Amino acid sequence: MTTVHQPPRGIAARVPAQDSATAGQRAAAQMLGLRNVTLPAAVISAAAELLDDRLGEQSDAVTREATAAVLSRLRAAIGQDHPGR
């Protein structure tokens, strides 16, 4: 019996293979498929704090850019548009 694997469709087609993609590449691909979820503001604020702490440690430009974009959206979601507020 032969198994035929269908190529990924939609957002899955844009996400690089797990073994070859950096965290930044996977995050950037996920940003293409934005959708809304409901979270407590404290969870969003905590995530923003953790990302802000790690932003300077990112080794590649794609990861830094994706981290900064996610951090910006998290801060905007809770009305904290500027760091340190």
- What pLDDT digit, counting tens, does each position of 13-26 carry? 555 555 678 888 88
Task: Write down how long the chain is.
Answer: 85
Q: Answer yes or no: is pLDDT of 42 > 90.
A: yes
Average pLDDT, the chain: 78
Q: Answer yes or no: is pLDDT of 77 > 80.
A: yes
Residues near 7 by Cβ (< 8 Å), separated by ≥ 6? Answer: 13
Residue-level pLDDT at 85: 45
The pTM (predicted TM-score) of the whole model is: 0.56
**CB-count exposure of residue 30 (10 Å: 0-12, 13-18, 19+):** middle
Distance, CA of 15 to CA of 34 (rounded, Å): 13
